[in-house]
Structure 1
Amino acid sequence: MTFLSSSAAGILKPEEVHALIVQPTQEASVAMSTATVVPTSSAEFRFPVVTDDAGTAWYNEGEDITLTDPTVDELVARPKKIASLTKVSRELAEDSSPEATALVGASVARDMARKIDQAWFAASTPKGPAGLASLIGTAGAVPGGSYANADDFAEAISLIEQTGSTPTAFVANASTVLALSKLKKASGSNEPLLSPNLATGATQRIERQLLGVRLWTTPDTALDDDEVWAYDRSKVFVVLRKDVDLQVDPSFFFGSDSLAVRCVMRLDFAFPHAASVVHIGSDGS
């Protein structure tokens, strides 16, 4: 039995939903590939944030040590609902081949990934989570612009390292990645500044390295030209509810002899260490 059969409605196992929707969405989404994905069964997930460290000092042997406490705040992530409703013909639904099931699952996962990525880089999304652009003013900033070398990226790496973090990703749109890919190591040289490698695994993405940090490409609609985000995977989070729901209903499109496939996923973003995120942009913010 495939999830497209009418008898599958409401009885899909969690592992089936994960393989059909969750895993392909995570693989297709730049946000979920470059951040730490935190699964949760709760409506809220709380991140402790240390706003001021405990105090330390030098002491003589035998001298009383002053008691100090760190100042701790918290950031609360509340997963929001992203959903899709897909119409599937009866002919496709009755195709018992795994390719038919994968075709519908991949389509849902691709669009989920696109919407997640658009929200990840936006300041806000109606009914959705606040993204990286909401950090502008508190995140690190590098002016950026029309890139002739890697100096702006070296500065971004330095800003992240000064927070005690390690940069793991640069993310830009396809046009910006193409412009960076055309940069050469020296005047008159044909050797590119970036070092591309073909990634192994299911996605087969081309991995580009810039100053030793992976450069990712996101859809052009998510970022402006010459705009780049840099961050440490361990300091940015996608909070994903475990109860991803996939339902098949043969009655919704009864008149056209089709099935309705509904997918509901709930997630939120969390940036408890804004200073470890850097925005490289033409306006320097």
Structure 2
Amino acid sequence: MAMNTTGAAGAWLPDSTGNLIIQPVGRESVALQALGGPVLVGETSSSYRVPLVTADPSAGWVAEGAEIPLSDAALGEVSKKFSKIAGLTRISAELADDSDPAAAEQIGAGIARDIARTLDAAFFGTNGGSADQPEGLEDLTGANVITTSGTAWENVDPFIEALYGAEEVGATVGAFVLNPTDALAVSRLKESDTSNRTLLTPDATEASRRLLAGVPMLVSPAVTAGTAWGIPADGRLQVAVRQDVQVESDRSVFFSSHEVAVRGIMRATIVAPHEAALQRIDLATA
């Protein structure tokens, strides 16, 4: 951590600035919840590389005593550069000078909320051709696209289709993520016209978790209305975060109000080693 004003109290911000930001962002970001957390990258590198096996070695029936044919796996990689996410907040000088650990938590929470919102918007959206942020899910062209038969959510059939679409390429859907408006509509679906039982089922092991076609359903306003995402498990879609998170403070910028500016910077990227495992469900247009 760098303090721009000499003699400023330092007890309010701990040395473990990485966890101060990364852990709250992991709780706040719906993208990271769907993925089970970020991949933390510690080595010095401007990009994140994921090795791929694009073709398996071949096997076949071989006669007794015959030579086994030699075959090789086809290897490749996906490489994405890290982009910078920055959050800025301000706190009173009194809070900054307080050595109570709760002060550090408040600072981290404020920065983490800014970063989490920015990360989710990039993850579920598009970068619009900008070089300042990584490509989002809407930029990927290899996802399995499922279009509903009607212009409104009528049943969970499209989500069941997504589960089998993932299995067709050897993947598993770990979570569905919907816009709040779509999540509400799906939550209101009933088993039949004469039943009040919803198609959305509760999780017996966790009361606050909702299951859609047996898979956890998460909600994020960063998802475009009319679109739902089936997020694959097992590392087939990743958010990689550099562990060298930077937290800096400055007492001069808000001098007149006796406040301290606190800035957090986290470098991250979005990598889709197996785009076909990603499931996109779109409502049909009129």
TM-score band (shorter)? 0.7 to 0.9
| Cα distance, 1:248–1:213 mapped onto 2, change above 3 Å | same
> What's the offset of the Cα at 1:19?
4.2
CA distance in 2, matches of 1:97, 1:13: 14
Give the secondary-structure state (helix, strand or coil) at the position aligned to 1:33.
Answer: helix
- CA-to-partner distance for each residue in 1:195-240, whole Å, 9 max, x for gaps? 234986xxxx931101111111012xx2222210102222111101
Q: Which residue number corresponds to residue 122 of structure 1?
A: 125
Q: Which residue number corresponds to residue 96 of structure 2?
A: 93
Q: Which residue number corresponds to residue 155 of structure 2?
A: 149
> What's the offset of the Cα at 1:156?
0.5
| Cα distance, 1:199–1:83 mapped onto 2, change above 3 Å | farther
| Cα distance, 1:182–1:10 mapped onto 2, change above 3 Å | closer
Q: Is the 8 A contact 1:6 1:248 kept in 2?
A: no
Instruction: Percent identity, please.
Output: 35
CA distance in 1, matches of 2:159, 2:233: 17
- Partner letter of residue 224 of structure 1? T
- Correspondence 1:171 to 2:174: no
Give the secondary-structure state (helix, strand or coil) at the position aligned to 1:158.
Answer: helix
- Correspondence 1:105 to 2:111: no
- Partner letter of residue 238 of structure 2? F
Q: Is the 8 A contact 1:10 1:248 kept in 2?
A: no
Q: Which residue number corresponds to residue 20 of structure 2?
A: 20
CA distance in 1, matches of 2:88, 2:211: 38
CA distance in 2, matches of 1:71, 1:212: 35
| Cα distance, 1:9–1:269 mapped onto 2, change above 3 Å | farther
Report the number of matched residues: 272
Q: Which residue number corresponds to residue 278 of structure 1?
A: 279
TM-score (normalised: structure 2) = 0.87
- Picking from 186, 196, 200, the partner of 1:194 is 200
> What's the offset of the Cα at 1:282?
2.6
Which is further off, 138-147 or 21-30?
A: 138-147
> What's the offset of the Cα at 1:142?
0.3
- Picking from 64, 69, 81, the partner of 1:66 is 69
Give the secondary-structure state (helix, strand or coil) at the position aligned to 2:251.
Answer: strand
CA RMSD of superposed structures (Å):
2.5
- CA-to-partner distance for each residue in 1:260-281, whole Å, 9 max, x for gaps? 2111101001100011111101
Which is further off, 272-281 or 29-38?
A: 29-38
Structure 1 gaps, min length 5: none
- Picking from 206, 217, 220, the partner of 1:218 is 220
- Partner letter of residue 250 of structure 1? R
Give the secondary-structure state (helix, strand or coil) at the position aligned to 1:214.
Answer: strand
Equivalent runs, 1:72-91 vs 2, <5 Å: 72-91=75-94
CA distance in 1, matches of 2:259, 2:13: 19
- CA-to-partner distance for each residue in 1:143-187, whole Å, 9 max, x for gaps? 034111111111110000111111111111111110010011222
CA distance in 2, matches of 1:109, 1:73: 35
TM-score (normalised: structure 1) = 0.87
